[in-house]
Amino acid sequence: LISKLPTVSTNIFSVMSQLATTHNALNLSQGFPNFETSPTLIRLVSEAMQNGYNQYAPMAGLLPLREIISKKTASLYQRNYNPEEEITITSGATQAIFTIIAAFIRQNDEVILLKPAYDCYEPTIELFGGKPVPVQLNGPDFSVNWDEVASKITKKTKMLIINTPHNPTGTTLQKKDMLRLEQILKDTNILLLSDEVYEHIVFDNKSHQSAALFPHLAERSFITASFGKTFHTTGWKMGYCLAPKELMKEFRKVHQFNVFCSNHPMQHALTTYLKTPENYTSLPEFFQKKRDLFLSLLKDSKFTFTPASGTYFQLLNYRNITDESDVTFAKKLTIEHKIASIPVSVFNMNQQDDKLLRFCFAKTDDALQKAAEILCNI
Ligand code: PMP
Ligand code: GLN
């Protein structure tokens, strides 16, 4: 058998969550909340099922859901996406990302990405014969060297992928970053995949800099969003993607053979739930409290950190504790100290190890307290 992905093995989220279960450890590794979603949302899904919405949804998604997403995007980012032609409901952001890459990346196309990067981009690029071209971000601030990004552009560059707020570092791109990116891409045919699944989880009164806000980015961008992240329903695998109509037309050609459509009753529930903007505008405060609680409890620990400015992940540096590799230390923490995290080197192409672990703080205050107690004793 000749594998299409010879270097890929079971991903780190499955590995660490499994290890946490086996060793009965507190699981702050894989990014998901340990608390329930809104009972209203659950009731709305049950009602949709009882009302008979149990067969295929329209291929691009329920039109009223696309309409409410269009309204939300116009109000937050001052850009109109036509619900008929420019918005598609997907089975999570992962499916959107896969479909975007499948629809556009051919043999030998180059795709620039910023490392560390979320784990699904590279294997998908490789599956379609593309070549990932990394630009390394370095701690503690992980800011982007845009001159380096510009220097990586060749005739073969087909796409650039950004992710803000950023998993795993918890950093966010600022307006000046987006303006510089716009300048770099303006006179090219390069597509932008802007992964914005944490768009509603931004802290310290910063605002989310969506690619939709910048005309020369929006005209070439696919923007991906996740209801899993926004409504504490990662197990539902629901999301959507936005793009100008010529791009979306190509996306849908693949989408229809990839999944055809996404979960129908959930689309009904989400349509109603999105009509109350507080359901997502309350997220920054909700998660900032958790970040602040977690970090205040860690202030006397040996870990060092820069507070995350977005996402529900916090990086902790353990340089003052041990020289062990992050993979070794993450496993040891799980098995011996009963707390699971994600070693950051797995998101880096050259497995560069900066002694950083990623902890998910989308957890009850009680769980965060227990986690901090363990970490303070290390
Ligand atoms: N992109 C990033 C940066 C993520 O962290 C995740 C995980 N939620 C995804 C995409 C995938 O989102 P979904 O669970 O909606 O497929
Ligand atoms: N996005 C989640 C994380 O970063 C995990 C998603 C997955 O398990 N594939 O932890």
Q: Which mutation among 100, 164, 197 tests ligand 1's pocket best, with the greatest number of atoms within 8 A of CB? A: 197
Considering every ligand atom shown, identify the ligand nearest to the alpha carbon of residue 346 and give its number. 2
Q: Which pLDDT tens digit goes with each residue over 19-76?
A: 999 999 999 999 999 999 999 999 999 999 999 999 999 999 999 999 999 999 999 9
Domain-terminating residue out of 220, 248, 277: 277
Whether 213 and 360 map to the same domain: the answer is: no
Residue with the nearest Cα to atom 8 of ligand 2? 13
Whether 265 and 343 map to the same domain: the answer is: no
Instruction: Give the CATH number of the domain where residue 320 resides.
Output: 3.90.1150.10
Q: Let me know if residue 36 belongs to a domain.
A: no
Q: Which pLDDT tens digit goes with each residue over 170-193?
A: 999 999 999 999 999 999 999 999
Instruction: Give the CATH number of the domain where residue 118 resides.
Output: 3.40.640.10
First to last CA, the chain: 45
Domain-terminating residue out of 231, 252, 277: 277
Q: Let me know if residue 214 belongs to a domain.
A: yes
Whether 221 and 166 map to the same domain: the answer is: yes
Tell how far the Cα of 342 is from the centroid of ligand 2, in angstroms.
10
Q: Do the interacting molecules here have an ipTM over 0.90?
A: yes
Instruction: Say if strands 342-343 and 356-360 run parallel, antiparallel, or are unpaired.
Output: antiparallel
Report yes or no: 41 and 269 within 8 Å, Cβ to Cβ.
Answer: yes
DSSP 28-66: -SSS--SS---HHHHHHHHHHHHTT--SPPPTT--HHHH
Domain membership of residue 304 as a residue range = 12-30+282-376
Quick one: pLDDT band at residue 267, thresholds 50, 70, 90? very high
CA pair distance 44, 13, nearest whole angstrom: 30
Q: Where are the beta strands (DSSP E) in the chain?
A: 26-27, 87-90, 110-115, 131-136, 157-163, 191-195, 221-226, 239-242, 313-317, 339-340, 342-343, 356-360
CA pair distance 307, 324, nearest whole angstrom: 23
CA pair distance 84, 107, nearest whole angstrom: 31
Q: Let me know if residue 46 belongs to a domain.
A: no
Whether 244 and 127 map to the same domain: the answer is: yes
Strand partners, 315: 358
Tokens of 196: 């914005």
Whether 17 and 103 map to the same domain: the answer is: no
Whether 244 and 172 map to the same domain: the answer is: yes
Domain-terminating residue out of 277, 303, 331: 277
Q: Let me know if residue 157 belongs to a domain.
A: yes
For the question of whether the overall pTM of this predicted structure is more than 0.90, the answer is yes
Whether 179 and 212 map to the same domain: the answer is: yes
